[in-house]
Structure formats: C-alpha cells, structure tokens
Amino acid sequence: MGFLTNILEKTWLIQLGAYLLFVLSVNFFLRRLFERFKRRKHLSDGDWRVQFDQSVLAPLRAILWISFGTFILDLVSLRFNLGEVLPDPIRLRNAGIVFCITWFLFRWKSLLEQAISSRRLPGKKALDPTSIDIISKVYSIVVVFISSLILLQIFGLNIAPLVTFGGIGAAALGFASKDAIANFYGGMTIYMTRPFTVNDLVQMPQKELYGTIEKIGWYFTTLRDLSKQPVYVPNSLFATELLVNLSRMTHRRIDERLSLRYSDAEKIESLIHQIRRLLSSHPEIDRGQSTQVFINSFAESAIILEIKAYTLTTRYEEFMELKQKIMIRICEMIVSEGLGIGYPVREMVQSAPKPFLRGSGVGAG
C-alpha cells in the first residue's frame, strides 16, 4: 500500500515527464519531416510550399512549448491549490496559440514578399513594388485586427463598450489629429490612384521639388532630390499640389530658335527644307508627331527660325546627346549654305561738340 501511495502522490510528476517526452518527440519528428521535405528537388526556392515550411516550423514549435508551459502551470495549480493566485492556464494557452498563429502569418508574408519580388514568369507581367507594398500593408492590418479581437474575447473583454467609447473618442481624436488622418488617407489615395510608383522621377513645380520616389509610406513619401538629400513629403500634399511624373512621359521635345541674318534671307528657304529632311529621316525622331520648322518672326537684327520635334527617347542623357548631334548637323548646314548667325546691332552716333561762345551770356551771373 505504501508503494501505491507513493506512486499516486507522484502521478503529477509522471504526467509531467510523459508530456515533456511527447513534446520532445513531436519536436524531433517535425524537424526531421521538414528537413526531408526541403530535400525534394522538384520544388524550387520560390515555391510557396517551401516558403510555408520555413515560416511554420518555429511558430509550431513555440505552440508545443507554450502548451507544455501551461500544462506545468495547470499541474502546479491543482497540486498546491494555487488556482486563485496563478492565472488561468487555458486562457494563457489560447492567447499563446493566437500569438503564434499571428507570428506565422507575418513570417509567411515576409517570405512571400521576397519570393514574389524575385519571381519573373515569362510572358506574364510581374507585380511592381508598390502593389506588393499595399497588399502587404492591408494584409498586416487585417491580421492584427482579427488577432486583437480574438485576444479580447479570450480574456473575456466585452467589445461593445469599447466600440461605443471608440465612437465618442474618434471624433475628438480625429479633430486633434486631422493632419495625420489627412496624410493617412492621402497615402491610401496614392495606392489606389497610382500617380507614381517607387523609382519614378517626379516634379512638384509649386513646391520646387524634383527627385526620385524612394518609398511610399502611410504618412509621408520619401523623395531623393538632385542633391541626393532625402525629402519627406506629407501624403496629403499630393492631393492639393500639381504633380508631374517625368518617368511616364512618352516623348521629349526639341524646341530651339535660330537667329539668321537679314542679308541671307534668300537662302533661308533652302535651309528650312534641309532641316525638315534631316528631322523626317532621323530614326530617333517620331514622325507620327508634329515636326515644325518655320520662320517665327522678324526681330530687330535677325530672322528667327523655329525648330520643334519630338524624340522617341525619354531618358535625359540620351535626349541631350541626340539633340546635340542634330544641332551640330544644323550648324554644318548653315555653314555649307553660306548663312550666318544674326547678332544684335547697335549704332552709335557721335556729334561734334558745339564751341563755347564768349560774351553770349551763357553761364553768366
């Protein structure tokens, strides 16, 4: 009888050891299972199943140890009658499971972002960084919101009073933080309307801002200017200010004026025809757009020739190089036709000084 009594008194230790052995066995089995799954050669690194394995292992092992910890807490509470002192093990276990599931969802999101960003399928358009960013942020908000509601329910909190209080406080909070809310909705508007994306070159003439978009956040957008300085622009500003997206332009325009001498007026028509042939035959000039080579006006000292054309290239460096070649070729045409550039002329007329007459009374007195 004494032996049986000792065994019954040590039952909680036997249960504890059995549960620990179970946790260690399952942990070892999971690790071996996922290592074996990784060795399958038919799965690439970007496969969603591989991403699932990498993100689920750590949270699943954490759930096992949380269950073991709450089991110990439950045994100690029953053994030593500490139920009123120690917290409820069931609630702690459920809250830990919710936390681990949330952790798994965020780990899987990060791995999927990396896989989608690096994945390029032939014949299919890849998601741009802005689309991935907005999907990630909406996903995070939904996961946090649902997890918070479940945790409140686990700990027995009534959500209805919180919603009522939130409705009353939302007005005061919204009035106090109207700028922050405006920036938040400005960020949402940018994500929905897509006036620009990351790495776009933009210009805001009214604010004299010019640079490349580096990051689109919920509150502000980071812009890198020509001096390589970061400029943090509040998102609400994009709803009220003029924005020019230079990365989405289809053409760049050559817009130049030449001053030619009046003495070469009879040769200008031949020069105009040569310039038109040059622009119409050039492979980098869009012949589907209007090309204009006309006499614009008669200035005081020269005839003004206007040259306008649209280039196919939009990169600034390539455009300037193309424009330079065309202008050099036009200069060669001017020289070959014997024309000259009209310069401003000023005539100075100097009259002889009048002799000073004595006795005329000038300056007298």
pLDDT score for 311: 94
Q: Which residues of 353-362 are buried (b: 16+ CB within 10 A; e: fewer)?
A: eeeeeeeeee
Residue 197 and residue 73 share a domain: no
Residue 138 and residue 46 share a domain: yes
47-56: pLDDT as tens digits: 555 556 667 7
pLDDT score for 238: 87
Judged against a pLDDT cut of 90, whether residue 148 lies above it is answered with no
Amino acid at 17: G
Residue range 102-107: mean pLDDT, rounded: 85
Residue 200 and residue 144 share a domain: no
Domain count along the chain:
3
Query: Tell me, what DSSP letter sits at residue 241?
Result: S
- Quick check: 215 and 196 in contact, CB under 8 A? no
CATH code of the domain in which 326 resides: 3.30.70.100
Helices (H) and strands (E) in the chain — how many of each?
9, 8
3-state helix, strand, coil in the chain (%, to 5): 60, 15, 30
Q: Is residue 165 part of a domain?
A: no
Residue 146 and residue 17 share a domain: yes
Q: Is residue 356 part of a domain?
A: no
Residue range 158-178: mean pLDDT, rounded: 56
C-alpha distances (whole Å) from 335 to each of 142, 294, 343 are: 71, 19, 16
Q: Of 248, 266, 296, which residue sits at a domain end?
A: 248
Q: Hey, what's the torsion of the CAs at 296, 246, 326, 226, to 10 degrees?
A: 110
Domain range for 152: 7-119+127-157
Residue 226 and residue 87 share a domain: no
pLDDT band per the 50, 70, 90 thresholds, residue 170? low
Q: Of 248, 282, 302, which residue sits at a domain end?
A: 248
Q: Is residue 168 part of a domain?
A: no
Residue 70 and residue 198 share a domain: no
Q: Under 8 Å CB-to-CB from 286, ≥6 apart: which residues?
A: 251, 310, 311, 312
Q: Is residue 345 part of a domain?
A: no
Q: Pick 44 or 60 by higher pLDDT.
A: 60
Q: Which of 10-19, 143-152, 227-236 shows the highest mean pLDDT?
A: 227-236
The secondary structure of 152-204, three-state, reads HHHCCCCHHHHHHHHHHHHHHHHHHCHHHHHHHHHHHHHHHHCCCCCCCEEEE
Residue 215 and residue 297 share a domain: no
Residue 224 and residue 134 share a domain: no
Q: Is residue 169 part of a domain?
A: no
Count how many residues are written for the chain.
Answer: 365
Count Cβ atoms below 10 Å from residue 4 Cβ, excluding itself.
Answer: 8
Residue 189 and residue 53 share a domain: no
In the chain, what percentage of residues exceed pLDDT 90?
A: 25
Q: Is residue 162 part of a domain?
A: no
Q: What is the mean pLDDT of the chain?
A: 77
CATH code of the domain in which 213 resides: 2.30.30.60
Residue 236 and residue 259 share a domain: no
Residue 309 and residue 196 share a domain: no
Q: Is residue 363 part of a domain?
A: no
Residue 219 and residue 295 share a domain: no
Q: Is residue 191 part of a domain?
A: yes
171-194: pLDDT as tens digits: 555 554 567 777 777 877 887 788
- Quick check: 209 and 225 in contact, CB under 8 A? yes
Q: Specify the 3-state DSSP secondary structure of 92.
A: helix
Judged against a pLDDT cut of 90, whether residue 61 lies above it is answered with no
pLDDT score for 53: 63
